[in-house]
């Protein structure tokens, strides 16, 4: 195992990209007042990131796709994090 050097942002590009994405898409739009609130917001964002956000390295697929993908029906919008992020899915 090779340890990442301290204060070397180019040493672990994957972690730095993750932190930048969370800040840009989530935390920069919220006013947080406690550590518990930040942990809750980041946990909700992680669920969105793995379940609904497309990933370029996966051919615009999501890491954990929904099992029931429909191509016909009404499109519903679900607000995540109080409306900062929107997820769309087909109605049953």
Q: Residue 67: its pLDDT value, please? A: 65
Are residues 27 and 39 in contact, defined by beta-carbon separation less than 8 angstroms?
Answer: no
Half-sphere exposure (CA, 13 Å, Cβ side) for 79? 4
Of the chain, the percentage scoring pLDDT greater than 90 comes to 25
Q: Tell me what pLDDT residue 44 has.
A: 92
66-84 pLDDT per residue, tens: 766 667 778 888 898 888 8
| pTM greater than the 0.75 cutoff | no
32 touches 45 (CB < 8 A): no
Question: What is the model's pLDDT at position 65?
Answer: 73
The DSSP string of the chain is: --PPPTT-TTT-HHHHHHHHHHHHHTGGG----SHHHHHHHHHHHHHHHHHTS-BGGGTSB-SS--S---SSS-EEEEEETTTTEEEEEE--
Which stretches of the chain drop beneath a pLDDT of 50?
A: none
């Amino acid at each position: 195992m090779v340890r990442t050097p301290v204060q070397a942002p180019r040493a672990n590009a994957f972690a730095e990209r993750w932190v930048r994405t969370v800040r840009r898409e989530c935390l920069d739009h919220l006013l947080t007042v406690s550590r518990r609130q930040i942990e809750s917001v980041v946990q909700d964002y992680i669920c969105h990131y793995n379940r609904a956000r497309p990933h370029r390295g996966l051919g615009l697929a999501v890491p954990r796709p929904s099992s029931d993908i429909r191509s016909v029906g009404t499109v519903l919008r679900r607000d995540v994090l109080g409306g900062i992020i929107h997820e769309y899915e087909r109605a049953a």
